[in-house]
């Protein structure tokens, strides 16, 4: 959640500067997941799975960059697509309207 466009937009609009101080973290609108609700648990689990895939892809891309392999370009495209999908799922989790998504996307 902390790396989503939604929360990046939110804390950029709330705080001055590039860094959030520790005492400001409690003000972040982190949505609590109701793990007894199958739909919410499923949404959470899907996002977690995607984040794990993202971490793996980032690692692969770094290795490909270091070796100057052609795969780095395909990996970067997959990372960008996955990042977009994660943001879309976060928007659904927070129940953003199309108008609100446009604001966040800039």
pLDDT tens digit sequence for 59-85 = 999 999 999 989 999 999 999 999 999
Residue with tokens 């943001």: 87
The number of domains in the chain is 1
Supply the pTM of this predicted model: 0.75
Measured CA to CA, the distance from residue 40 to residue 61 in angstroms comes to 31
Cα dihedral value 33, 24, 8, 47, nearest 10: -20
Cβ–Cβ under 8 Å, residues 101 and 91: yes
What ranges in 1-106 are assigned the alpha helix state H?
5-14, 38-67, 71-93, 98-105
pLDDT of residue 81: 96
Query: Could you list the residue range(s) of the whole structural domain that residue 62 is in?
Result: 5-105
For residue range 8-57, list pLDDT tens digits in order: 787 777 776 656 677 777 777 788 899 999 999 999 999 999 999 999 99
Cβ–Cβ under 8 Å, residues 43 and 93: yes
């Amino acid at each position: 959640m902390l790396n989503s466009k939604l929360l990046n937009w939110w804390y950029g609009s709330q705080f001055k500067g590039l860094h959030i101080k520790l005492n400001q973290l409690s003000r972040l609108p982190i949505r609590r997941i109701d793990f007894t609700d199958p739909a919410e648990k499923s949404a959470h689990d899907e996002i977690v799975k995607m984040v794990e895939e993202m971490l793996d892809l980032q690692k692969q891309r770094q290795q490909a960059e270091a070796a100057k392999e052609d795969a780095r370009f395909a990996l970067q495209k997959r990372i960008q697509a996955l990042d977009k999908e994660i943001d879309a799922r976060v928007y659904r989790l927070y129940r953003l309207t199309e108008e609100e998504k446009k604001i966040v996307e800039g």
